[in-house]
Amino acid sequence: MKKFFMALLCCLFIPMLAFADKTYDTDVVVVGAGASGVTAALQAAELGAKVVIIEKLPSLGGGTICSGLTVVGSDQQNKYGFHQFTDKSYVFKKIMDYNHYAGVAPIVSKFINESNNSYEWLKKHNVKFDPIFLYTYLEDPAWHPLTGHCAGMLKSLIEEFKKYNITALTETPGKSLIIKNGKVAGVIAESEEDGKVTINAKSVIIATGGYGGNPDMVKKYAPFKGFSVNKGSKFRVGDGINMALSAGADTHNIGLMQWHDPMPKTDIGRATRSGFNEPFFWVNKEGKRFMDETYRMLWAYSGNASLNQPDGVVIKLLDAATVKHITDNGGALYGVHDLKPNNDFNKSVEMDVQGNKVVKANSIKELVQKLNKNYGFNMDEATLQATIKQINDSYANHEDSQFFKNRQYLREFKTAPYYALVTYPAFLGSVGGIKVDENAAALDADNKAIPGLFVVGLDSGGMLYGDTYNIVSAGQTLGWAVNSGRFAAIKAVDEMKK
Ligand SMILES: Cc1cc2nc3c(=O)[nH]c(=O)nc-3n(C[C@H](O)[C@H](O)[C@H](O)COP(=O)(O)OP(=O)(O)OC[C@H]3O[C@@H](n4cnc5c(N)ncnc54)[C@H](O)[C@@H]3O)c2cc1C
């Protein structure tokens, strides 16, 4: 009988507990605890605001992937003699030239002018940086690598939350905005533990990382409609952008993605990936070369070039001599994913051949047959043979008369067996999203700030660019995340004090 009453009590009370809704009253609520959200929360709290931050994943900052951010005028640039990059006018003009003034100049200007203050602010909050270096010879020394990548940065910033009594709720996805008298006045979230969570706030800062993990939104907004590979998080599904849209925010450059080196559909060995990314010999599915392969170092460029190919397909080719060359001598590229001399590239390739991820053939005829059979292509052997003749002639003449590739990266394609890696357009995430002003305040179609609403990081990243993410002064998505997070927090606190 006692057991029966216990069971009855449980039946009566567990549902009540599950739906025990919670309400918070705060100054600032931040939706999303990645790079931009964590920065915004800490900055707002440091300036005296009461802050609640909500994150849909089980841990704060747990899903953010990145390594370094753009800074202009840093102590490191001075120390290592990159003086040109301490000149803000030089960098501003360079970035605006890159985006053909399609990026919004006042925002680019504030981003550059404040980037070193944000870098110093991070250091003040115990974020550590590794020495800067040129990732490729085509880039600027802008990218400042974080010790321990983004995880290192976020760990340091999150440790500071205690000091400022920031309330952080995990597994609490933001669902909709509270709008009162034409002003954004908080967020409705959900939690398995607490049911409906209402957070009333003077300002909302949306920081949910874009829509790259939402295939429907990618199809809707990105101009490339074929198959593409998402190399970023599958949890960034456009929640924040959709919430801002529902409050009347306008979009800006929303279709801009962070296109990257084309990638295979399935995972391959890390060494295989690096070796096939060497700047030697790429063709499209018709067997035609289409770019100076060295421009894969500026990966946004190889991303763009892949989008122009039939179905976006890029086939990366290596002959046996080049596989051996890369294995013995290491990669021509250096940086984060380098191959040092005497590496295991050859073993990694053979493993991926066994796994049917890399095609191996003893003749060009067999290579074409296998590509056509395994991937449904319709490549003409004569076309590929003509392209191979062209690349071998370029090598013999020390001149790529088609795409004018730096002669140091010209190689023959002559020694069987031949290897091919079939790849598709790939992106790190979305960049474009909501239209914002210099304070990251969301703007409506009349360019008026929506009271109480800020949108930061990848949810509003399109403001800095034209049609292509800027890889020349690299680290701009994280740079914008940190800077826009701070801009929004500073303005929100300012408004609060009025
Ligand atoms: C492999 C890789 C390498 C990269 N390297 C670099 C680099 O070196 N430099 C660089 O500039 N950029 C890099 N990036 C891009 C980098 O990921 C972004 O710059 C950065 O994460 C943007 O920060 P964010 O705050 O906008 O988004 P995120 O850091 O992704 O944070 C968004 C957060 O919001 C949470 N969220 C989503 N929806 C909700 C919701 N409804 N409610 C609550 N929380 C929600 C997410 O779980 C996440 O924690 C890289 C990306 C990849 C994939």
137 Cα–ligand 1 center, Å: 27
Taking CA atoms only, the protein residue closest to ligand 1 atom 3 is 66
Q: So what's the pLDDT on residue 3?
A: 44
| Interval 319-366: pLDDT, tens | 999 999 999 998 876 544 578 888 999 999 999 999 999 999 999 999
Of 324-333, 462-471, 476-485, minimum mean pLDDT range: 324-333
| Interval 108-136: pLDDT, tens | 999 999 999 999 999 999 999 999 987 66
Report which ligand 1 atom has the smallest distance to the Cα of 54: 43
Contact predicate 76/152, CB 8 Å: no
Q: So what's the pLDDT on residue 137?
A: 66
- Residues 429, 210: Cα–Cα separation, whole Å: 7
Residue-averaged pLDDT of the chain: 93
- Our answer on whether the CB atom of 27 is closer than 6 Å to any ligand 1 atom is no
| Interval 268-284: pLDDT, tens | 999 999 999 998 999 99
Average pLDDT over residues 450-469: 97
Taking CA atoms only, the protein residue closest to ligand 1 atom 49 is 34
Report which ligand 1 atom has the smallest distance to the Cα of 65: 17
55 Cα–ligand 1 center, Å: 12
Report which ligand 1 atom has the smallest distance to the Cα of 70: 11
Range(s) of the chain covered by CATH 3.50.50.60: 22-256+431-497
The dotted CATH code for 262-427 is 3.90.700.10
Q: So what's the pLDDT on residue 5?
A: 45
- Our answer on whether the CB atom of 57 is closer than 6 Å to any ligand 1 atom is yes
CATH 3.50.50.60, domain 22-256+431-497, yes or no: yes
Return the higher-pLDDT residue of 460 and 192.
460
- Our answer on whether the CB atom of 32 is closer than 6 Å to any ligand 1 atom is yes
Report which ligand 1 atom has the smallest distance to the Cα of 34: 31
| Interval 358-406: pLDDT, tens | 999 999 999 999 999 999 999 999 999 999 999 999 999 999 999 999 9
Q: So what's the pLDDT on residue 10?
A: 44
- Our answer on whether the CB atom of 440 is closer than 6 Å to any ligand 1 atom is no
To test ligand 1's pocket by mutation, which of 53, 129, 192, 236 has the most ligand atoms within 8 angstroms of CB? 236
| Interval 157-210: pLDDT, tens | 999 999 999 999 999 999 999 999 999 999 999 998 889 999 999 999 999 999
Range(s) of the chain covered by CATH 3.90.700.10: 262-427
CB count within 10 Å of CB 78 equals 12
**Is the predicted pLDDT of residue 14 greater than 60, yes or no?**
no
| Interval 202-253: pLDDT, tens | 999 999 999 999 999 999 999 999 999 999 999 999 999 999 999 999 999 9
Q: Tokens for 183? A: 């002003």
Burial label, 228 (beta-carbon count in 10 A; 0-12, 13-18, 19+): buried
Burial label, 390 (beta-carbon count in 10 A; 0-12, 13-18, 19+): middle
**Is the predicted pLDDT of residue 474 greater than 90, yes or no?**
no
- Our answer on whether the CB atom of 35 is closer than 6 Å to any ligand 1 atom is yes
**How many CA atoms within 13 Å lie on the side-chain side of 14?**
6
- Our answer on whether the CB atom of 261 is closer than 6 Å to any ligand 1 atom is no
- Residues 254, 231: Cα–Cα separation, whole Å: 19
Taking CA atoms only, the protein residue closest to ligand 1 atom 13 is 66
